[in-house]
Structures are given as C-alpha cells and as structure tokens.
Structure 1
Amino acid sequence: MGGVMKNADMAGIFEQMADFLEIRGENPFKIRAYRRAAQVIEHLPREVATMLAEGEDLKALPGIGEAIASKMAELVRTGHLVAWETLRDSLPEGLSTLLEIPGIGPKTAYRLATELGISSVDELEQAILEGKVAHLFRLGDRTAQNILHSIRSMRRKDQRIPLGQALPIVEEILSALRPLPGVRNLVPAGSLRRFRETLGDIDLMGTADNPEAVIRSFVSLPQVREVLAQGPTKASVILSGGLQADLRMVEHEAFGSLLQYFTGSRQHNIALRTRMQKKGLKLSEYGITDTATDRLEKFSTEEAFYERLGLQYIPPEIREDRGEIDLAERKAIPRLVERSDIRGDLHVHTNWSDGTASLEDMARAAKALGYQYLAITDHSGGLGIAGGLNEERLLKQMQAIRQLDERLEGIRLLAGIEVNILADGRLDLPDGILSRLDVVVASVHSALNQSEAKMTRRILKALENPHVDILAHPTCRLIGQREPIAVDLEAVFQAAAQHRKILEINSMPDRLDLQDISIYRARELGVLLAIDTDAHRPEHFDLVRFGIAMARRGWCRPAHILNCRPLGEVLSYLKRDEAYRRTG
C-alpha cells in the first residue's frame, strides 16, 4: 500500500482479519478483538500515524491490547501486515470481494469460493442466474434472488446513499402509511434512525391491527419500482433511485425489541449481547430470553427493553459501541441537544447575495420558529458569487439590518458576513469593516487542493484574526461529490480552543460538516460549537434537524452549542460592544 496508512484502511484490514479468522474457525474471542479494534480505529478522531509520531501509547485505547497495537504500528511503519497477508493468501482468491456483498457472511463466502469456484461479483451473479447457489446451499430461490438484488443494488448506488437523499423519500412513505387504519407504530430503523451520514438501505419497522394490509399498501406505493419479496408481515422493494427498503411488521407487544435490534448498530448490539450473556440473558429481535428458564419476555417499547437490562435508555444516535453501554449501566448518559434547545441561527443568506428571500422574509421565518436571534451572513464579494458583498454594499446591508431590527419585535437581527479565507489565510474584507459587524463567519471556498500543511496554516491564520467568530463547514466536503480538504483538524481544534473561536456544524444535508467523530473530538478539547443551517431560503431552517443529529452523534449537550444560549450570553461570547454595534 502506498502512502501513509489511513485509519479507514487500517480498520478495513482488521475487519477482514476477523472475517478470515472466522472462516478458519479460530477462537471467537480473538475474532471479536479484531472486530472491536476495527471499530475503535474507524472512529478515532486522529490518525494512528500521527498518534505514533507523537509517542502516544496505542494500548491506552479501549479494546487495544499489545498484539493489536503492535500490528497497528507495523501497518503504519511498513504499509503491510504480514499476518493479514499470510492469512489472505492462504484462502481462496476473491474472498475479500465476496465479503463486501450485503447478506454474505464469511462462511458463506468461503463455500462459494471453494465449492463453486466463485472469485468475483460477476461470477456470483452468473451462478445465481444458473440456479447453482440456491441448489448448493439449499437457500431457496428467494434468498438467492435477494443476494442477486443486493449485488445489483450495490452497483447502482455504489454501496451507500447520502442521508439527505434518503430521508425525504422515507418520510413520504411514512406519511402515506401512517394514516392507514390500525397502524400504531411506523418508524425507520438502522442507519437512518441513527442519522448516519450515508446508508446502504432502508429498514422500516411497525405494528398494526392488520399488518398484511399495510404490507399491500407499501408495495403499491408510487415510490416503489420493483417488489423483491412480499409476505404477510414483511416486504422488500427497490425504490425509485435504486434504494432498497424493507418493511417488517410485528405484534404490538414485541415492537420495542424489534426496533432496538434493527436500529443497531451492529457493534452496539454485539457488545450488548455479549454483556448480557454473562447475566444469563439472550437478546434477539423477539425479546429477551432468560436462559435458565427459557422464558421469552416481550417489550412494546425500547425504554422497557433497556430498563429490563438494567440500563438507562440509550439514544439511537450514540449506539455505536463507544462507551455508551458502560455509561447507561451507571445511569450517566447526558441529555443530548434537542431541537427545542436551539434559540437562533448564526449563518444565513438572503437575496443580497445568493439567497432567494429578503431580509424580512428570513427574519420572520426565524421568528415563527420561536428563535430569539438570527445572524444575516451573506457572502463577501471575492468569491464571484452573484451579489457577493463588497465594502460599500455590506455597509448598506448593515444599515438595512439595523432598521429592520428596530421594526421587528420578538427577534434580534445580527449583522454579519460569511467572509472568504484567501489562499494565504488573509480574509477578503479588511479588519476595519469586520470589526463593525456582530458576527463574522469565515470559510474556505477556493484553492481547495492545497497541501495539508498549506491548508492548515491558512485556516490557523484566519482563526488568529480577532474579528473572526465562527469557522464554517471546516472540511469543505460535499457528501458523495467532493472529498474533504486535506487539513490537520487536530491543529484546527487546538487553535479554536486557544482563540475561543466557534466551529460550525453545518446542517446542509450535503455537508454535515463537521462530522460526528470530529465533533466528539472538538468537544473534548473544549471548543464551542454552533449548529447552523447555512439557509438560503426560509424552508432551509428545517434542515437544522440534520445538524442536531450530527451534534447528538458527537455526544453534544446544549452547553456545548453556542446557539442554545440566550441572546445575552451569545452577545457576551462574541465580545462586541452593545452601543457600537447598535450604531453600525
């Protein structure tokens, strides 16, 4: 492997190690250790290579023992892992490829490779079409067809679809099905319920007095392009756009355990099952079985399910096996930020630049949401964005904002700007005018291909500017369209903490920037965050739910979010003189 070993690649190698060891029938504890290591590495806020370079002890990480720490160091040092390569080479060719297909586990992949000689996705597809897979494994045509659909769905969507694309489709489906007679519960599960930024498919869970009628309505929806399977309580379909959706209906009293099981994450559920096995309890989608008596208990709610295990309820967004179970056992999970905590928005655009609505329209929409304050932060003029504000137009807008603020009751308007951080770290407006604003949001929009060292210096220089308040969408990524910029986020977080700057959690569904693991790390370092919508029209204010979800995944409480604070505290934090700000 060329270049510095990245955490994502390292995690993939350890996950494959676990699969390979499972195929070989190795010790289950060893297999779990590698899976746990893969999960820990995937969610580290810093690169392992950086940690080693700074002399950190990898064994201090949860679930990382001496043997795995040594292998992590070997991967960073050499780009290779002899144990993994030896194991891989001892197994049939193409096994790794088969393991990437949803629905195919290690042992099935091994049988496909050894008994049918399959080493590629194309060969597997052909074998299914010829009936060999259904015959060999006695799976039946339906299961074989499901694998076939997984293959084709995987190709169509390149494995994962952005959350922002999937959620509106799911909400249309739920809106159509929830009013049906007898429906009591109907919610998404899986990655969507945990608000993962991308997802592979949709799991819907529900209960109804007549589940078969709900299933019939589901497969008949206009969003359904193809029906893969249909039974009295379950159906699988392909939606417009290639997304697979499964609907499962159960009896009312079993809904809680079903929802918990299919919400996941896989790592969370494995950790939960392992812990409860020691207490003589077996967990499943059907409920909790006492192994001593073989008695099954059913649960209509997740709250009751977790309570039976002696645990505090665990919010779906943090079910990722990152210490939440230990905290739940101690009843120590904090109250995470909620929509009702948000008191304003500090990054909003109008038709003075590239927004579509007027100052007053945006202000009244924010007031209707119950917000106490709203910062107008149109683009500066150096970006080539239509209507970007130069000094003269910014001064005029400031005056317009002050005048509107005097007229409006029940909401405070703040005059701001989203100023571009130039390639050398300077801002494209002078300090003199920035000092007269309530809020200065700085962001990178150009020269995105700079080296990590240059980009880091560029952003750090902007953070040193005393007039900058917020760093917007810090990694500049567009999910599924543009990779994040190369930047040392640890250095950025350290600088933000040092200079008391605010880092944005951008709620735009194609950004979700910062992402959850970065939010977690920034919060650990004491950096204050802001959940902003980057709204360009009134309807965009509703996108705040995406930013809130990312903040929750980063374990944020209201205290970690600036715009959960009342106006007075926000103004105090921004360190602006009230009388000067009012005269503009």
Structure 2
Amino acid sequence: MKILADYHTHTIYSHGKGTIEDNVRVAISKGIETIGISDHSYGHLTYGIKKDDIFRMREEVDFLNEKYKNQIKILLGVESNILDDKGNIDYDEKMGKVLDYVMAGYHFGSKPTNLKGLLNHANNYVFKSKKSKDYNTLAIINAMKNNDIFVITHPGDKGDVYIEEIAKAAKETDTRLEINSSHKFLSVEQLKKIEPIGNTFIVGSDAHIPSNVGNFNLALNTIKESNIDLSRIENIKF
C-alpha cells in the first residue's frame, strides 16, 4: 500500500502534541507524498485555533514547503466545526484566502449558534434520541450544500446520523467522506449501507501526535471488513 496523502493531522496550534514540522518529518519518513495540517477551527470552545494563528500557520507551511520541496507537499487545511442545522461552520472568507482545503465535522466542543444547538449537544451526549439524529443529519447535509467542503470527518462519531442521506448529499456536492483511523467512523456497517451510492472516500489518521501521521491501521481493517471498492479511496494506492 502507498499513502498518497494524509489530510487529517493536528498540531500544537489546536490540541496536537507536535509542531507542523514534526508532522512533516514523520510523513517524509513514511514516504507520504502529501501531508495536510488540519487543526480545529476557532469555533471549538476548548481546542480551536486562535483566529490569527491561521495566518502564522500559512507562513510556516510556505516556509516548510520550500525547505522540503523535493521530499513532500504540505497543505494547510482546517477541521471546521458544524455549528447548527442550517449548516453554518466556523469559517470565513479571510481564512479561505490562505487555506488549501476545508474539512468539517461535528464535535461536542463546538460553539452553538443558538439554544437549539446547545440542546442538541446535550441530546447527543446524554439521550441520543431520534430528534438529535434528525438534527445531526440535517446539519451535515446543509453544511455540504452551503460550503465548499473537501471532506466530512468521522460522520456519525459524536452524534448518530442517517448515513445514507449524508452519502447522497456528499455524492451530489462532490464531498468526500472520511474513514477515520482514530475513531470507528465511518464504520463497517455504515460503509456497507452506502456502498451502492458510489461515494469517494479518504482515509484520515486524525493524528494528534506526530508518530500517528499516516497510521491507517484501524481504517484499513474497516475497509477490509466492509469490502468496498478500493478504487474509491482517493488517498491510498493498493
């Protein structure tokens, strides 16, 4: 197997344990062609980057691209938080000018835009009702429809979703779905449900320590058990 890219890695700018260069060096040592830096965006109450940091990160990525130009390509992304059922995410045009891509996912620590969103956090965390499942699904679908999102991260992880509806919207909007190698989502069951829809997937390490960059072990087991078409996984080559 050849890892073409790992787009989902975190650094000390959010709650990772290593620097951008630490992640880059590990990626080079593993023969990865492209490394993406995708820290949590500013709407995460605990782990979000500071708004101004994204511009420092851009300068750092540009410097490192020059330093390691013959060894690897480094991209700057962000893991935005899906904030409500209207599909709002913590992203703005100013950030967009310096980013190479945007990932988005639902997280408990995201700052809700209204009381309904706050209640949904509680519902997801405690009650896990059909109401929250409806809300979560609508939030992700609208996020894809209203924003230019490259990847939806670990769909269904923090709150249950109707994965078939999300997969259909992802197909319509040309959005990739992540098989996350730190969480069990997409799961084997989810992948089997959406197999006929024909989505494109990426594998993400979701590395929070540099040594886990490119660690796709969990995801590869999920892929093997689900028996999906390997050609639909965009960032690895078998």
Cα pair 2:55 2:98 within 8 Å, conserved: no
Structure 1 counterpart of 2:58 = 398
Structure 1 counterpart of 2:38 = 377
Distance 1:347 1:542, change over 3 A: closer
Structure 2 counterpart of 1:516 = 188
Structure 2 counterpart of 1:525 = 197
Residue by residue over 1:383-410, the C-alpha shift from the partner in whole angstroms, topping out at 9 and shown as x without a partner, is 1224x22432112111211111111131
Q: Secondary structure at the match of 1:381?
A: coil
Structure 2 counterpart of 1:476 = 157
Q: Matches of residues 236-315 of structure 1 in structure 2 within 5 Å?
A: none
- Of Structure 1 and Structure 2, the greater helix share is in 1
Structure 1 counterpart of 2:176 = 502
Cα pair 1:434 1:467 within 8 Å, conserved: no
Residue by residue over 1:23-72, the C-alpha shift from the partner in whole angstroms, topping out at 9 and shown as x without a partner, is xxxxxxxxxxxxxxxxxxxxxxxxxxxxxxxxxxxxxxxxxxxxxxxxxx
Q: Using the alignment, how far apart are the partners of 2:150 and 2:178 within structure 1? A: 10
Task: Indicate whether 1:428 and 2:100 are aligned.
Answer: no
Q: Please, which of 351, 368, 383 is the counterpart of residue 12 of structure 2?
A: 351
Of the two structures, which has the highest relative contact order with CA contacts closer than 8 Å and spacing of 6 or more? 2
Structure 1 counterpart of 2:144 = 463
- RMSD between aligned residues: 1.8
Structure 2 counterpart of 1:415 = 76
Q: Using the alignment, how far apart are the partners of 1:473 and 1:428 within structure 2? A: 17
Distance 1:342 1:557, change over 3 A: farther
Task: Indicate whether 1:560 and 2:232 are aligned.
Answer: yes
Cα pair 1:418 1:440 within 8 Å, conserved: yes
Deviation, 1:361, is: 0.9
Deviation, 1:345, is: 0.4
Q: Using the alignment, how far apart are the partners of 2:38 and 2:143 within structure 1? A: 17
Residue by residue over 1:156-209, the C-alpha shift from the partner in whole angstroms, topping out at 9 and shown as x without a partner, is xxxxxxxxxxxxxxxxxxxxxxxxxxxxxxxxxxxxxxxxxxxxxxxxxxxxxx
Task: Indicate whether 1:547 and 2:219 are aligned.
Answer: yes
Q: Secondary structure at the match of 1:451?
A: helix
Q: Secondary structure at the match of 2:11?
A: coil
Cα pair 1:383 1:420 within 8 Å, conserved: yes
Residue by residue over 1:206-250, the C-alpha shift from the partner in whole angstroms, topping out at 9 and shown as x without a partner, is xxxxxxxxxxxxxxxxxxxxxxxxxxxxxxxxxxxxxxxxxxxxx
Cα pair 1:431 1:467 within 8 Å, conserved: no
Structure 1 counterpart of 2:117 = none
Deviation, 1:488, is: 1.5
Q: Secondary structure at the match of 2:52?
A: helix
Q: Secondary structure at the match of 1:441?
A: strand
Q: Please, which of 418, 443, 446 is the counterpart of residue 105 of structure 2?
A: 443
Q: Using the alignment, how far apart are the partners of 1:405 and 1:382 within structure 2? A: 28
One-letter amino acid of the counterpart of residue 407, structure 1: K
Q: Secondary structure at the match of 2:177?
A: strand
One-letter amino acid of the counterpart of residue 18, structure 2: A
Task: Indicate whether 1:363 and 2:24 are aligned.
Answer: yes
The 4+ residue runs of structure 1 with deviation greater than 4 A are none
What is the aligned length?
216
Deviation, 1:524, is: 2.3
Cα pair 1:470 1:503 within 8 Å, conserved: yes
Deviation, 1:423, is: 2.2
Cα pair 1:440 1:467 within 8 Å, conserved: yes
Percent identical residues:
28
One-letter amino acid of the counterpart of residue 54, structure 2: L
Q: Please, which of 124, 134, 142 is the counterpart of residue 453 of structure 1?
A: 134
Cα pair 2:32 2:214 within 8 Å, conserved: no
Q: Using the alignment, how far apart are the partners of 1:491 and 1:556 within structure 2? A: 18
Could you list the runs of 5+ residues in structure 2 that have no partner in the other structure?
109-119, 125-130
Q: Using the alignment, how far apart are the partners of 2:46 and 2:29 within structure 1? A: 29
Deviation, 1:435, is: 5.3
One-letter amino acid of the counterpart of residue 405, structure 1: N
Q: Using the alignment, how far apart are the partners of 2:235 and 2:39 within structure 1? A: 19
One-letter amino acid of the counterpart of residue 496, structure 1: A
Deviation, 1:471, is: 0.4
